[in-house]
Structure formats: structure tokens, C-alpha cells
């Protein structure tokens, strides 16, 4: 254990004898059970797959380790990505580990502070464009056509391959697939990857079923739900502020083949679940990560699906510490007192 995704799932990944095997400790993230919240929602079992426990604090590390290993195998010296923050942190870290030059292109002013700090600390070159993620992605896609740089966004198939390992872990731990998987949807690579993982495990006979895939976009950035490209996506969940997802088809396929849904949740619903997850379960995810729980709440409220016999896994895609601004903007109830026993006693109402 503690060996990383490449070693642990070697036989289920596109690894050859010449693929370098290394790890920053990605994968094997906790599956946290939440019985009190399950009761409140009305489902049989509820778990949170806390991907914030990956080395750079998001699920991206699972895919990045495979993409960077393959880039090394192919002799690449440089990697590049567009990002709302987490992909850039991950690319920068794995690039640093492997001694590759890394570049990231991010939407100026719309990336959480912690993610920017990570990219800078890992020594990547950060280019902030006056535009959104979709524009950044089309720029880097064009760049790699004419320059010898490896693109490590999830359009790189090795990213999806690595990310499917989270589905393997869930089945390995539960002993079967859950009935439902709730997951935030941005560029739609992760829902595509989980579905691939569940289907592969089922075909291998490691699970008897696959879950219903429930993907959730932010309401101001919901191209799949609305069936059209959103030119100027808006949401407090900056990680999923995406109007033209690269893996759109993959998400639709996951939804349709699993008999699931892709729906949207408002910023208000996202923030409410962001707080609930932290204060009722002790899991501090980032705002985008709370879209999965917000979606489950919405489903439960809607009453169209009987959840009472269902086991549900919500994916918490990234660590809340990455975005202290949103936390402090929405939770500011600090009581200030003089440094005196009585003052503190009074403040506590004792």
C-alpha cells in the first residue's frame, strides 16, 4: 500500500515495460461514511470519496501521474495545460518531480489563491489570460499543434485512464459498486473517467453492477444541461466555471449508459452544501466539490427517486484549503475579545 496509482493498477493502465514508475503518493484516498447525513437525506448509505487527500489536494493527481509518466516515456521535455487551478497545480508538481519544464495557462482573476500559490511554488511558468478556461484550452490545444510540448489536460487520454482508478478504489473498498455516484462536472473528464473505471471493473468481474451516474454542473456554467455552449460561464465554484467541456460526449455517454442524469445546482445550493460538508461531516472540500452533495440534496428534495434503499458515493474532488477566500467570505463569525479570562468566558456564554 501507499505505492501510488501506477504501481497499484499497473495491469489496468496503459503501462509498458518502458514507462517510468513513480509516485507522489496519489490515490488510496479515504471513503468516508456519513450516517447522520444519510439519515437526513433519506438514503441507505452515504459516503464521501475525499480526493482532497491527494498530494496536490485534488483528483487530478491520479491522471497527471499517468500523463506525465507517458510524456517521459515518449521523451517529452515540456508539458502544458489550461486550467481553472487544480490541473495546473498537479501538472506543476509532477513536472517538478520529473524535471520537466511546465507551463500553465489560467483565467486571470478566476483561480483560487491556494492553487495559484501551488503552481508558482512548484516552479511552473504561469500565464494568466484575460479570458476564461475555454479560451485558455483552445489556445493550448493550438499551441501543441505547432510546438513539441505535451498537453496534459484531460483531452490527453492518459489523464482519463489514471482518473478511473478512483472508481476501482470505491469498488475495492465497498466490495461492490454503489447504487449511485454523485460527481461535479466541469470539463467532464472526471465523470467520463469514473464511468470507464466502473464499466471496466464490471467487465473484469470485480463488481456485479455499475452505479447510476449523477453529474452536476453549476447553474451559471451548465452547457450539458442546457444543450448549448455557454459563452460566458459564471459560478462561485471557479473550478467548474466552464462553458464548453472537452469531454462533453463522454459525460453524455456516462449519463445515458448508466441510466443517470446530468443536472445543475445553483451557487446558493453549492455554498450550502460546502458548509454542510465541512460542519456536519468534517470534510472541507472546495466549492466545486460540493456540487455533488448539492445535487444529491436536490434529488432528495425533488422526490422523483426513492433513495431509501440506495448506497450513494459523493465525490469530493478537491481540498477546501485551496480556496480560503470563499471560506472566509461566507463564514466570518469570529468573536474578538481582549486577552482576558473573563472576556473569553463571556464570549463563550459560560
What whole-number distance in Å separates Cα of residue 288 and Cα of residue 132?
16
- Smaller CB separation from ligand F0G, 19 or 168: 168
How far is the C-alpha of 303 from the C-alpha of 215, rounded, in Å?
18
The closest alpha carbon to 164, from 152, 153, 154, 179, belongs to: 154
In whole angstroms, the minimum distance from the beta carbon of 25 to ligand F0G comes to 18
Tell the smallest beta-carbon distance from residue 318 to ligand F0G (Å): 3
CA 170/CA 33 separation, integer angstroms: 12
The CB-of-190 to ligand F0G minimum distance in angstroms stands at: 3
**Helices 60-73 & 86-98 angle (0-180, nearest 10):** 40
Q: Which is nearer to ligand F0G, 41 or 188 (CB)?
A: 188
| C-alpha of 122 from chain center | 20
> Applying CB under 6 A, does 230 fall inside the site for ligand F0G?
no
Name the one range near ligand F0G by CB under 6 A: 69-77, 78-86, 228-236, 275-283: 78-86
Interface with ligand F0G includes 221 (CB under 6 A)?
Answer: no
Nearer to ligand F0G among residue 98 and residue 155 (C-beta): 155
* C-alpha span between 52 and 32 (Å, rounded): 12
Binds ligand F0G (CB under 6 A): choice among 162, 186, 211, 233: 186
Q: How far apart are CA 161 and CA 107, in angstroms?
A: 26
CA atoms of 238 and 88, how far apart (whole Å)? 14
CB of 329 to ligand F0G, least distance (A): 18
Binding status of residue 288 toward ligand F0G by CB under 6 A: yes
184 binds ligand F0G (CB under 6 A): yes
**Options 23, 29, 56, 87; binder of ligand F0G; rule CB under 6 A:** 87
Alpha-carbon distance of 196 to 126, in angstroms, equals: 32
Q: Which is nearer to ligand F0G, 19 or 86 (CB)?
A: 86
- Of 86, 110, 124, 244, the residue at the interface with ligand F0G (CB under 6 A) is 86
Q: Which of 19, 56, 84, 150 binds ligand F0G (CB under 6 A)?
A: 84
Q: Which is nearer to ligand F0G, 19 or 153 (CB)?
A: 153
Binding mask 231-250 for ligand F0G (x = CB under 6 A): --------xx----------
Cβ closer to ligand F0G: 114 or 186? 186
Query: Is residue 83 part of the contact set for ligand F0G (CB under 6 A)?
Result: yes
Take residue 25 and report the three cell numbers written for it: 503518493
State yes or no: residue 91 binds ligand F0G (CB under 6 A): no
Among 189, 220, 260, 295, binds ligand F0G (CB under 6 A): 189
- For ligand F0G, the closer of residues 6 and 188 by Cβ is 188
Structural contact between residues 50 and 315, judged by C-beta atoms closer than 8 angstroms: no
Q: 128 near 106, Cβ under 8 Å?
A: yes
Q: Quick one: which of 185, 212, 221, 265 contacts ligand F0G (CB under 6 A)?
A: 185
Per CB under 6 A, which region of 6-14, 39-47, 282-290, 306-314 contacts ligand F0G? Answer: 282-290
- Where does this chain bind ligand F0G (CB under 6 A)? 58, 60, 83-87, 154, 184-190, 239-240, 286, 288-289, 317-318
Amino acid at each position: 500500500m501507499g505505492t501510488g496509482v501506477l504501481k497499484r493498477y499497473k495491469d489496468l493502465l496503459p503501462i509498458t515495460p518502458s514507462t517510468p514508475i513513480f509516485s507522489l503518493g496519489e490515490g488510496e484516498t479515504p471513503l468516508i461514511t456519513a450516517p447522520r447525513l444519510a439519515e437526513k437525506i433519506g438514503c441507505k448509505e452515504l459516503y464521501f470519496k475525499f480526493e482532497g487527500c491527494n498530494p496536490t489536494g485534488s483528483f487530478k493527481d491520479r491522471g497527471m501521474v499517468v500523463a506525465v509518466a507517458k510524456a517521459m516515456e515518449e521523451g517529452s521535455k515540456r508539458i502544458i495545460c489550461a486550467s481553472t487551478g487544480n490541473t495546473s497545480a498537479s501538472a506543476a508538481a509532477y513536472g517538478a518531480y520529473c524535471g520537466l519544464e511546465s507551463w500553465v495557462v489560467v483565467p486571470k482573476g478566476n483561480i483560487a489563491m491556494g492553487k495559484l500559490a501551488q503552481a508558482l511554488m512548484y516552479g511552473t511558468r504561469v500565464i494568466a489570460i484575460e479570458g476564461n478556461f475555454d479560451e485558455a484550452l483552445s489556445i493550448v490545444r493550438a499551441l501543441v499543434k505547432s510546438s513539441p510540448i505535451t498537453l496534459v489536460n484531460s483531452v490527453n487520454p492518459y489523464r482519463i485512464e489514471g482518473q478511473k482508478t478512483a472508481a476501482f478504489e470505491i469498488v475495492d473498498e465497498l466490495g461492490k459498486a454503489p447504487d449511485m455516484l454523485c460527481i461535479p462536472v466541469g470539463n467532464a473528464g472526471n465523470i467520463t473517467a469514473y464511468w470507464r473505471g466502473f464499466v471496466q471493473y464490471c467487465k473484469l468481474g470485480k463488481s456485479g453492477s455499475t452505479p447510476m451516474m449523477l453529474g452536476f454542473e453549476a447553474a451559471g456554467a451548465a452547457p450539458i444541461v442546457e444543450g448549448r455552449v455557454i459563452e460566458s460561464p459564471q459560478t462561485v465554484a471557479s473550478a467548474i466555471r466552464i462553458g464548453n467541456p472537452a469531454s462533453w460526449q463522454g459525460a453524455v455517454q456516462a449519463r445515458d449508459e448508466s441510466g443517470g442524469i446530468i443536472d445543475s445546482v445553483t451557487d446558493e445550493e453549492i455554498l450550502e452544501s460546502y458548509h454542510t460538508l465541512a460542519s456536519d461531516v468534517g470534510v472541507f472540500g472546495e466549492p466545486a466539490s460540493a456540487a455533488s452533495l448539492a445535487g444529491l440534496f436536490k434529488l432528495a428534495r425533488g422526490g422523483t427517486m426513492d433513495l431509501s434503499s440506495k448506497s450513494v458515493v459523493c465525490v469530493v474532488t478537491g481540498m477546501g484549503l485551496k480556496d480560503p477566500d470563499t471560506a472566509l467570505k461566507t463564514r466570518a463569525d469570529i468573536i474578538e475579545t481582549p486577552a482576558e479570562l473573563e472576556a473569553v468566558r463571556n464570549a463563550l456564554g459560560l
